[in-house]
Amino acid sequence: MNQIYTKTGDEGMTSLRDGVRVPKDDLRIEVNGQIDQLNAQLGVIRSMLGDDQENFDLVLTIQRELMTVMSHIATPDASVNPRELHCSELIVLLEHAIDKAGYQGGFVIPGGGSRLAAFVHLARTQARTVERRLWSLHREHPVDNATLVMMNRLSDYLFVLANEK
């Protein structure tokens, strides 16, 4: 049986791609932790979407792209990541979904609708946290511009999705 623990992080260090060791509180590790949390929340949402195949597929696409984004964040600045980002394409999909929702504007108090809507609002706030952390990271380690824009659109999409549910 394979063991999940390696004990290599017991002293507060972890590895980026290519084996570069950094402290566990390195900003790249923090950002990836925030993205991981968002991805888990999106998994809960996807599990609750039922027969809404269009949003199910879009959320799954988002989750897969977040994994690629995490891989790029974990790539040391001097290295090249072979995984292709598709954030630009995802922006188009998100904008289409936002426009299709036809949201009329205004603020809402989360939790007033369905349990699904409440979870979507939770993910929306996490997407905003990720966006802020990405901008912090961008000052130290350049982040692809489309990734930054995609995170902004993602929170907008989650806002309109919550209001549909």
Does 111 map to a domain? Answer: yes
Is the predicted pLDDT of residue 10 greater than 80, yes or no? no
Average pLDDT over residues 39-54: 97
Least confident of 1-5, 38-42, 57-61, 88-92: 1-5
Higher-confidence position of 10 and 130 = 130
Average pLDDT over residues 120-137: 98
Average pLDDT over residues 118-127: 97
| Containing structural domain, residue 153 | 23-75+82-164
pTM: 0.92
Q: pLDDT for 50-85, tens place per residue?
A: 999 999 999 999 999 999 999 999 999 889 999 999
Does 13 map to a domain? Answer: no
Cα dist from 4 to 1, 67, 117, whole Å? 10, 20, 34
Higher-confidence position of 46 and 3 = 46
Q: What pLDDT does 140 receive?
A: 95
Average pLDDT over residues 11-30: 90
Is the predicted pLDDT of residue 122 greater than 90, yes or no? yes
Helix (H), strand (E), coil (C) string for the chain: CCCCCCCCCCCCEEECHHHCEEECCCHHHHHHHHHHHHHHHHHHHHHHCCCCHHHHHHHHHHHHHHHHHHHHHCCCCCCCCCCCCCHHHHHHHHHHHHHHHCCCCCCCCCCCCCHHHHHHHHHHHHHHHHHHHHHHHHHHCCCCHHHHHHHHHHHHHHHHHHHHC
Does 6 map to a domain? Answer: no
Q: How many domains does the chain fold into?
A: 1
Residue 32's CATH number:
1.20.1200.10
Does 95 map to a domain? Answer: yes
Does 4 map to a domain? Answer: no
Does 12 map to a domain? Answer: no
Q: What pLDDT does 9 receive?
A: 73
